[in-house]
C-alpha cells in the first residue's frame, strides 16, 4: 500500500493507494479512530460491485455502518438532495460522534462531503473515490459543494477528510471514456508542476489505458502527491492553488456552452489546456516543440484537442466574462512556462482568448 501525506497540521491526513484496499477499510478506519456509527454514501450502481465489500470490512472491524443511497447525476448534487439526506441521517441515529464515508465519483464525494461539513456543524468524513477524476483530483483538498441552479459548486465549504482510500481496481468497471477524461487531470498535474509525471504518461500511456495496475498505482500516487503539495501551500485558494485551474477557464465555459452534456469535464479541460497552451506559446513562454508535445499526448490519450467547429468562440468568451464577474471581477489565467511549470497571470486579453480558440 502506498501512502501520500497531505500535510495540513491538525487537519492533515493520509491518502492510501493500493490494489484491493477496499477490503481493508475497516482496519484502516479503526487505526484512525473513526466513530463506530458510520453512513456509507454511494450511488445505487456501486452497491453490488463495491459498497458490499466496504460494509463487510467495516462490520468485521466492529463498525456499525448503514447505507445511504444517492441517485447518480450532477443534477442531484443539490441542496434539495442534501436536505433529504440530513433527514435520513437523523432517522439513522447519526449524531456528532458519527462519520460519513463517501464511496463513488466526485459527485458523491462533493455531496457527502458537503453534508458532513454542515450536519450538526460538521462531522468526520472519509473519501473512497472510485473514478479516476475523483482519485487524482476531487477527493483531495477538502473542497466540498453542491450546485445551485444558477452556478455549479456555488454552495460549499472546506472540509478535509480524515483519510482517503484509493483502490485502483475499481477503475476496471469505469467506462473507458471516463478513464480518459480523468487522465486529463493527471496530464494537467504534469504540465503545471511535474515534468517527470508528464514524461511517465508519455512513455507508459498504453499500459495506463489498459489498466496495468502497478503503473496506475504509481501514476495515481504521483498525481495525488502533486495536488497535495499545492493544497498544503494554499489550502483555501488565496493564490497558488489556482494553478490547478490550468485549462479550466476555457474548459468550464465550453462545458456551460454545451449544456454540460456534450463533453466530460476532462474533455472540455483538454481543449481548454490546448487553448491556454497556445496563449503561452504566442507569448513566448513555451516553445513550439513543447506545445506540440502537450497537444500530442492529449490526443493520444483519446481526448479532444480542437475547439469545436460548431461552437461560437464569442459565446464561450461571454461565459468566461460571466464567470469572471462571479469571481469578483478578476480573471486570473493560468499559463505554462514550458512543460512542468505554471504561472498565474492577470493580463490575458479577450482578444488573446478568442485567438486561442480559433487555433
Ligand X SMILES: NC(=O)c1ccc[n+]([C@@H]2O[C@H](COP(=O)([O-])OP(=O)(O)OC[C@H]3O[C@@H](n4cnc5c(N)ncnc54)[C@H](O)[C@@H]3O)[C@@H](O)[C@H]2O)c1
Q: Which of 32, 53, 72, 355 binds ligand X (CB under 6 A)?
A: 72
Judge whether 146 and 109 are in contact, CB under 8 Å.
no
17-217-337 Cα angle (round to 5): 110
282 is catalytic: no
Distance between CA atoms of 76 and 73, rounded to whole angstroms? Answer: 6
Q: Over the Cα atoms of the chain, what is R_g?
A: 20
Q: Which of 28, 85, 128, 133 binds ligand X (CB under 6 A)?
A: 133
What's the closest the beta carbon of residue 171 comes to ligand X, in angstroms?
A: 6
Q: Which of 138, 193, 331, 336 binds ligand X (CB under 6 A)?
A: 138
DSSP state of 78: B
Q: Which of 118, 137, 223, 339 binds ligand X (CB under 6 A)?
A: 137
Nearer to ligand X, 301 or 313 (CB): 301
Total interface residues for ligand X by CB under 6 A: 24
Q: Which of 170, 249, 270, 356 binds ligand X (CB under 6 A)?
A: 170
Map the footprint of ligand X across residues 244-273, applying CB under 6 A.
none
Helix (H) or strand (E) holding 60: helix 52-60
Q: Which of 59, 137, 152, 73 is nearest to 101 (CA)?
A: 59
Nearer to ligand X, 178 or 199 (CB): 178
DSSP string covering 163-191, please?
EEEE-GGGGGGS-HHHHHHHHHHHHHHHH
Of 136-144, 207-215, 232-240, 336-344, the segment contacting ligand X by CB under 6 A is 136-144
Q: Which of 98, 118, 127, 131 binds ligand X (CB under 6 A)?
A: 131
Nearer to ligand X, 32 or 152 (CB): 152
Nearer to ligand X, 105 or 124 (CB): 105
Q: Is 193 in the site for ligand X (CB under 6 A)?
A: no
Nearer to ligand X, 167 or 194 (CB): 167
227 is catalytic: yes
Catalytic site residue from 77, 159, 252, 295: 252
88 is catalytic: no
Name the 3-class secondary structure at 151: strand
What's the closest the beta carbon of residue 25 comes to ligand X, in angstroms?
A: 15
CB atoms within 10 A of CB 143: 23
CA distances from 77 to 83, 248, 251, 275 (A): 11, 20, 20, 29
Q: Which of 11, 54, 58 is nearest to 36 (CA)?
A: 58
185 is catalytic: yes
CB atoms within 10 A of CB 37: 17
Catalytic site residue from 159, 189, 265, 278: 265
265 is catalytic: yes
Nearer to ligand X, 37 or 53 (CB): 53
Q: Which of 65, 104, 247, 340 binds ligand X (CB under 6 A)?
A: 104
Distance between CA atoms of 3 and 310, rounded to whole angstroms? Answer: 45
Distance between CA atoms of 284 and 305, rounded to whole angstroms? Answer: 21
Q: Is 76 in the site for ligand X (CB under 6 A)?
A: no
Contacts to ligand X by CB under 6 A? 43, 45-46, 72, 74, 77, 104-108, 110, 130-131, 133-134, 137-138, 141, 143, 153, 170, 173-174
Amino acid at each position: 500500500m502506498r501512502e501520500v501525506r497531505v500535510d495540513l497540521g491538525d487537519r492533515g491526513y493520509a491518502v492510501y493507494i493500493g490494489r484491493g484496499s477496499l477490503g481493508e477499510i475497516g482496519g484502516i478506519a479503526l487505526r484512525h479512530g473513526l466513530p463506530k456509527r458510520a453512513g456509507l454514501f454511494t450511488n445505487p450502481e456501486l452497491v453490488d460491485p463495491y459498497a458490499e465489500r466496504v460494509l463487510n470490512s467495516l462490520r468485521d472491524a466492529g463498525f456499525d455502518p448503514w447505507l445511504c443511497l444517492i441517485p447518480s447525476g450532477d443534477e442531484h448534487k443539490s441542496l434539495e438532495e442534501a436536505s433529504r439526506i440530513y433527514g435520513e441521517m437523523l432517522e439513522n441515529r447519526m449524531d456528532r460522534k458519527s462519520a460519513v464515508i463517501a464511496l463513488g465519483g466526485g459527485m458523491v464525494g462533493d455531496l457527502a462531503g458537503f453534508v458532513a461539513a454542515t450536519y450538526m456543524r460538521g462531522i468526520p468524513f472519509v473519501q473512497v473515490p472510485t473514478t479516476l477524476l475523483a482519485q487524482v483530483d476531487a477527493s483531495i483538498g477538502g473542497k466540498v459543494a453542491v450546485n445551485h441552479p444558477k452556478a455549479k459548486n456555488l454552495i460549499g465549504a472546506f472540509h478535509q477528510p480524515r483519510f482517503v482510500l484509493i483502490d485502483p481496481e475499481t477503475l476496471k468497471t469505469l467506462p473507458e471514456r471516463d478513464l480518459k477524461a480523468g487522465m486529463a487531470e493527471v496530464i494537467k498535474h504534469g504540465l503545471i508542476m511535474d515534468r517527470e509525471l508528464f514524461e511517465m504518461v508519455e512513455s507508459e500511456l498504453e499500459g495506463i489505458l489498459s489498466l496495468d495496475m502497478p503503473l496506475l498505482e504509481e501514476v495515481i500516487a504521483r498525481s495525488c502527491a502533486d495536488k497535495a503539495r499545492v493544497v498544503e501551500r494554499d489550502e483555501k485558494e488565496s493564490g497558488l492553488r489556482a494553478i490547478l485551474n490550468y485549462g479550466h477557464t476555457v474548459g468550464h465555459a465550453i462545458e456551460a456552452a454545451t449544456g454540460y452534456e456534450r463533453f466530460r469535464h476532462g474533455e472540455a479541460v483538454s481543449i481548454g489546456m490546448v487553448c491556454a497552451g497556445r496563449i503561452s506559446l504566442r507569448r513566448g513562454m513555451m516553445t513550439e516543440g513543447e506545445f506540440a508535445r502537450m497537444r500530442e499526448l492529449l490526443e493520444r490519450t483519446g481526448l479532444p484537442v480542437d475547439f469545436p467547429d460548431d461552437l461560437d468562440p464569442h459565446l464561450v468568451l461571454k461565459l468566461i466574462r460571466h464567470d469572471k464577474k462571479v469571481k469578483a471581477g478578476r480573471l486570473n489565467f493560468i499559463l505554462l512556462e514550458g512543460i512542468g511549470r505554471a504561472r498565474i497571470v492577470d493580463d490575458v486579453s479577450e482578444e488573446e482568448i478568442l485567438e486561442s480558440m480559433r487555433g
